[in-house]
Amino acid sequence: MFVAPPQIYVETGTSNAAAVDSVTFFRGPFTLFDPYNLSGDQRTRVILFTSDLGLTQPSPALLSVQAGTTPLTVEAVGPISGAQGLTGSYLVVRLPDGLPTGNLSLTLTLGGVTSNATTLSIVP
């Protein structure tokens, strides 16, 4: 049985991941530190939009996200709801200390199957 690879949605006409800051809802480029994030670490969390992953909670054994060579922690995952004409899943990832700046190749792997490569832009 063929399993279609997961897809990270992209902004129209680009390779940029369809992604927004989890607090401000602004699209990238993203900084590692978010002064508007009231979490204890004030690290930026990014919401990514993907094809339907069939998950309602993070599962490190099943799902991983990579930005360049750096793994990103998936803090939340679930189905997209309330967005007319848009189906799929959302992922909330935490940007870690030491993530390099620039345009990073972003992929996700679900059950050993890797998605399309998109771009996540990080600025100082």
The pLDDT tens digits for 75-86 are 999 999 877 777
Average pLDDT over residues 87-106: 95
In a domain, 96, yes or no: yes
Asked if the structure places residue 13 within a domain, the reply is: no
How far apart (Å, rounded) are the C-alpha atoms in residues 94 and 109?
16
pTM: 0.92
Domain count, the chain: 1
DSSP structural state of residue 2: -
Provide the domain limits for residue 69.
19-101+115-122
Within-domain flag for 110: no
Q: What is the largest CA-CA distance in the chain?
A: 47
